[in-house]
Structure 1
Amino acid sequence: MKISDIKKFVEYLKVINKNRFYLSEEFIKWNSSNFKMSENESAEVYEINANKISRQIKSYIESCESKHIFSEFKFDEFDADVLINTKFLEGKDQKDNIEYKLEWRNKFYELLKQIDWREFELLGQLILTENHIENIQITKSQKDQGIDFYGYFSLKNIKSLPRFYNYFKFRIIGQVKHSEKNKGVDHQKVASFGTEINKLRKTTDKSYFVNLDDDFINSKWPILGIFITNSYYPIKAKDFANEYGIIYWDGEQISQDLATKKNIDKLFDDISQDLSLEKLKELIKEISK
């Protein structure tokens, strides 16, 4: 069985709205429907590919955990053939929040594929704001070697944290990379951005970073680099990001950030009962003003 077909099966599992379900049973139903096989034939296909299917599902769950986003399901602790719907694992309020985030995250993800690179760069400002990055400045010149924005992140406004955290502050620089065809980020782009981060850490010379203000360049606060894309990062791109200490966010992560009630209300279309691409473009225009 092709990996691409197994990935399609994983996508099918994401929309199952049951408390718990048997992986083998769902595969037999899905495979019989999609490949016009009998249940017995599909059961044989499952037996042959069971390990590959389980590995693909585990890989997806681990990917969600590493990105700090919700996964739609997890394996039962005692039965490897059972998947548990994660939204049923929590109390009612948390269940509703997970269900809400999962539903709208996927809708935002599809919208992000339909805007152009200029719009995506502007939308990056909203994504950063949702992550409590302040004083965000969008650069305009290409001379700044891939630095599309800069700003600051601090924890002083989070009252529930101990006093020690009030002293945490970081300079943030970032690059935004848009993909029209959901193509993965080129590892060379990540490496190039990492090189620029290291240059900035060592310099106080404004002649190279012409779009960064003096206070930002001369500040002694540590620098963190953030790379944002609407697609995904191949393994080699992740390796370079980790080597340079770059935080990297992909399309699923930023879609979950955007899936707030405030943003959904702004983009919701009463006629289609869905998010509106036109309203997203209007929101982006407002950001640019």
Structure 2
Amino acid sequence: MYEFAGEGKHFIAYHNTEKIGHEFNGERFVPGERWNWSTKKSPEQFLGGKIWCVSGQSSPRRYLAYGWYEADEIEAMDDGDFPFVICGDVGFAFPKPVCLNDQPWIAGFLKSQSNFSLGMQQIHPDFVRELEELGRSCRDLQLVVPSDDGGKQAPSTPTQQGFQASPEDRKLIESYAVGWAKEHFEEQGFVVEVVGKPFDLRCTRESEFKFVEVKGTVGQLGEVILTKNEVEFARQNRSQMVLFVVHGIQLVDDAIARVAVGGDVFLQDPWVVDEHGELTANQYRYRLQADGMLLVVQYK
């Protein structure tokens, strides 16, 4: 039995992309799964503490924060390099990673952590305050807590794209999703142009280019609406098409305006519209035959 020696403390968990061999993609923060981080350090010191998850990648180094969780259990693993897994059920996940490089305190934070070279380390109280303030200012946070049956509670949402949304809300959702997609491809080194119709983004990187169709929905991943022109363009440019869907978006009224927050991304690249999903007609245009009988009705 381990003691909860980390209560009230905060720790950094750092993912070194080059050393581990792959980018951090948020796989530890999947709804319905326990949050977890592997370590070779004595695990008792982390129990009861808050684990802040950060990755570093590329050169010059870019540091991204993914969220935090409360460590409540330790699992032993048959892994000589990382024999312990620090688990937790409660935490905040950033739907979009937060870049730390532009924060005015990042230099001091790196120095206090020896540039994240020492593995999981306790965070100095000065930087705990900065991280918590960063978390509070990020409207994209979504609390995930255990349900009574041991699973995770998630908002109950429809599964289709905005059938009941007002025109204003649909525009807000679309703008939010396009902004997220634009940021994603810019982070991948693409030059991004917002087009609108018959596709949303043109992304260029040297000789490579992509056409990106972006969809946003308040529902969980299910159906999205495609226009006739969008389908035809996707068929004509199948090798360059990408589908970027932000689902689970929430609309929140704050003191100033209505805003879109949260969500998760589904990315299909390349996207072949007739192979990676099923098209269903929800409307037809019916042309009447010219030789049909004309009926004239007069109302008195």
Question: TM-score scaled by structure 1?
Answer: 0.30
Task: Return the structure number with greater helix share.
Answer: 1
Report which of the two structures shows the higher radius of gyration computed on alpha carbons: 2
Greater relative contact order, per chain length (Cα 8 Å cut-off, separation 6+): 1
Task: Return the structure number with greater strand share.
Answer: 2
